[in-house]
Chains A and B, each alone.
Chain A
Amino acid sequence: MKLIKSIIRPNKVDEVKDALDKIGIAGMTVTEVRGHGKQKGHTAIYRGKEYNIGLLPKMQIEVVVADSLLDQAVTAIVIAAKTGEIGDGRVFVTPVERSYKIRTGEREAI
């Protein structure tokens, strides 16, 4: 079982969601986040004064998938979230030890 944490452009959320739906991944958690990569944000202008916006708004999508689905899911996310420009985001994969359903208390085996 793996946790895929992808940090993507806010306007790519729907496309990533659709792509994951297509390969049968149902549950996900979406969070508004802020951050920057190598470029450290960009400059904006307010009343004639330039200033740096260091932390840019991004969306974080977390899904937990079975090991067998991992490669397929990561590929789907990368294709859907890609524009080819700076600021497309990152995908991180980490192992998940256990998973429980709160309603029933039952331990899941994905």
Chain B
Amino acid sequence: MHKRLIIFLLVLISVSCVPACTLSAPVTSDGSVPTMTTLRVWSQHDLTDQSRTTSVLMQQHVADFEAATGISVEYEQIAWDQLAPKLALAVQSGGVVPDVVETGRQHIPTLFHVGALAALDDLLAAETWVAELDERDSQSCIIDGHRYCVANLVRGGITYYRASAFPDGFPETHSAWLDAGARLQAEGMYLSTFFAGRSYAAIEWAWAPWIYSNGGRIFDEQGRPAWATPEVAEVLDYARTLFARGYLPARIITGDIPTGELPWIEGEAASFRGGTWSFLYVPNLREGIETDTVRVTGGLRFNDGSAYVFLNNESWIVPTGARNPTAAAAWISSLMQPDFLAAWSKAQFGIPTHPAAQALPDFDTPFYQQIMSILREQGRYMDRSPYYVESMDTLAIAVQEILLNPELDIQQRLQAAEVEILQRYW
């Protein structure tokens, strides 16, 4: 009896191991690997949310793609800030990766560095639209002469201001900002509000454009941090002054992204540094623009330097190890068709990278013409670094400490942050 029980247990264990040992690509009876009929897509858009134009458009696009290609789309919604980390984790841990993923420009160097990006040159070789994309695509997606992504639309930082608070127009220089701050403070208003927390996004939106305008950099040509410079220190000292004088709300230093929007929404701030996409999240912004009570402008000029605004994009990539790269290329190609691309870009308040889509009537409005002009003239992608997020987060933490502690030596703190990254990665 015992012997039978033991044999039964051993057989059970052996049988349970068999499926694990035979996990591999399915093979047909003639020995060939069957054509893949599914496409796994990771994107931030929620297909169940019918109140958002992007969701409705994406849902329709999935249906159209399936009907046109016969490929079944397995769509997975993943939060925007989790798309790149999840993909990097999946690739590095040897897990199952999707076939095509939406991401942003800032994550491309890191994803490339961890080996998560497949080259698209061969996959897209037959597509004529590739050669027609504007330079915002190639600046982002061509690395070492090879294409690793397709940037379908660009978005950027932009400043919204209440026309009534700035009767003589919005101040364009850092010294004029101080004057305006003093005047508005007397009227009981903050000069501006924006996200200034301890995340890389704060550097991208808030501080980097000012640092660039002041002649500074975030990373050097090799992607190493270049923060401990007088140009960066001067900008942070200026930011400290704005907070110390109460021209900016102190809560935005420790708050999250919505906290940076609140003083504007609550009517406490005269201007708001957000993005072209802020319409999606900030109430009454669209109405304000339409009634001309709210206007848009670009960046701030430091010490007679040029004004810059943060530039980002939506990019589509095919991960290393994707099971169906051909279908992924077809998916990307379908996204780039001018009519869809125009509608898709407009829904996200972005600018398409394909000139044929840009030329469509969707973008022939005063608002779009203005933001296209701002992004064209002032838009600047962030410097590249293979250790982008960890470096930028380290800088953001240092900046937060500098802003919160007026006694802290700016140059020394920047130096310490720089050394931390250099010692670790370089």
A joins B in a complex: no
